[in-house]
Each structure stands twice: as structure tokens, then as C-alpha cells.
Amino acid sequence: MLFAGKSDCGLIRKNNEDSFVIIPDLAGGSGVVLADGMGGHNKGELASSVAATYAAGSLRKEINSHLSPREMGEILAEIAERANVKVYLESLLSPQNTGMGTTLTIGLVMDDLLIISHVGDCRVYRKHKSKLQVLTTDHTLTNALLRRGEITQEQALHHSGRHIITRALGVAEYISADVYVYKLSLGDRLMFCTDGLYGYATDQEIYEILSNSTDPTSCAQNLIDQANQNGGGDNVTVVVGFI
């Protein structure tokens, strides 16, 4: 089980508001934390850093190999909810902090299980044999309309609401995180990414890079290079795991 991550400003943005942490030895497994901040005056950077740092520290303290998958999922959700309070309180400290927020996706690989808590529009992908699967649901206006049947899949690709986040840390005092549990297979390849990756690289490009890369480090870099080659209009962060 090998994880590696890379982060890049992209070709347009001056500041990188993404944060990520990889915890390679976590109770016999591995942990990944990914956050994509938002807000003016560089406060997106602060929001994502506060959330990612808190979540990573909490994982190290609270996860152990004696917990059941259900208990781990509950802990990951609680960590996200507490991280929200941290970011929310930070937003109240200064008028410049008003409106700052961040997405937060936490992943835990233990034995043959992947456990995720998720808030926002970062994504977790899995390449399983010949399929590329998205394992999380985007908390965006476009996705909400799509799930209600008000727009089609084709319309969703270019809908103006695809960048409007409907659930994020720091916006309100309380939030709830989605929790997912997946069974993994030997040979699976995982990718945690911000929208700066999937907003510019196609599913086919992502699949081919995940399939053809020989190690997680070069894979993460190749994915970022592809996003930048296709426009690079946003910060892009990628964490790749080879199972």
C-alpha cells in the first residue's frame, strides 16, 4: 500500500488554497486528508490548512486497529464535524475571515477496506480492473439538480452551478459528513483529488494515467501535468494510492 501526493497552483491562480496530508503508518493502515479552501484575502488557504491539520492530528489520536469499520466511519464523520467548528470559529476572529470555508475529504485504508468521510466537491476515484469509479458524491448545486432529475447528465457537464458548493466546512456552526465504506482488491488504484483535476482532465485521461503510471509519485505528477496541459485554471491536488 503506497500513497503519494502532489499539489500545484495551476496556470492561473497565484495562491494555492488546497491542503493535503498523508499518514502512511496509521494503526497498520494509511490515512489521507484533502481540503480545498475558499474565501477572499487568501483565507481559503487558512481554512483548508486548519481543517486538514486538525483532521490529521485527530486521526493519529483516535484511530486504532481494534475499531470496527462502522466505528471508524463514525469517528471520521465526527472528525469532519469537529473540524467544521474549528474553521467556523476561525472565520469569526476577523472581518477578513468572513465567508471563508473549505471542503474536507478524509480517507482511511485498513486491510482491504476504504473508509471515507466527505464534505464538499473533492472526489475519490478507484480504478478497479478496467473501470474508473467515482466513490464520493459532489455537494454542488449542479449535482443536487441532477439527482432531482431537473437537469440531464449532459447538461450537468457545463451547468453554471457545478462550482457552487452546497455543503462545506466553516459556513455554518454544524454540518454532517457523508460516510462511505468500500471493499478493495489487490491491484486497485485510488485517487483523491480537488476539482482542479477532474474539472480539466477527462475521465479517459485519468483512467489512462492511473493505468499506465508505474508508481504513485509519478502518477500524481502526470495527473497534474494533464490538468495544466488542458488549461490549469484552478489549484490542483492529487493523492494516489496503489493497493
Could you give the domains of the chain?
2-237 (3.60.40.10)
- Angle, CA 96 vertex, CA 13 and CA 165 arms, to 5°: 55
What is the 8-class DSSP label of residue 199?
T
Cα–Cα distance, 243 to 239 (Å, whole number): 13
pLDDT confidence of residue 49: 98
Residue 15: Cβ within 10 Å count = 11
End-to-end CA distance of the chain: 5
Residue 178: Cβ within 10 Å count = 16
Beta strands in the chain (DSSP E): 2-8, 18-26, 29-38, 101-102, 104-110, 113-119, 123-128, 131-134, 178-183, 189-193, 236-242
pLDDT confidence of residue 148: 78
Question: Are 47 and 37 a contacting pair, CB within 8 Å?
Answer: yes
Cα–Cα distance, 81 to 4 (Å, whole number): 26
pLDDT confidence of residue 29: 96
Burial grade of 167 (CB within 10 A; 0-12, 13-18, 19 or more): buried
DSSP alpha helix (H) spans, 138-236: 141-147, 153-156, 195-198, 203-212, 216-229
Cα–Cα distance, 188 to 191 (Å, whole number): 10
pLDDT confidence of residue 87: 97
SS3 29: strand
Cell of 54: 486538525
Distances in whole angstroms, Cα of residue 2 to Cα of each of 32, 79, 226: 11, 24, 22
Q: What letters, b where the CB count within 10 A reaches 16 and e where it falls short, cover 100-115? A: bbbbbbbbbbbeeebb
Mean pLDDT by 10 residues, the chain (243 residues): 95 96 95 92 90 98 96 98 97 89 98 98 97 96 79 74 87 96 98 97 98 98 99 98 97
Cell of 124: 475519490
Q: Which of 110, 96, 104 is nearest to 67 (CA)?
A: 110
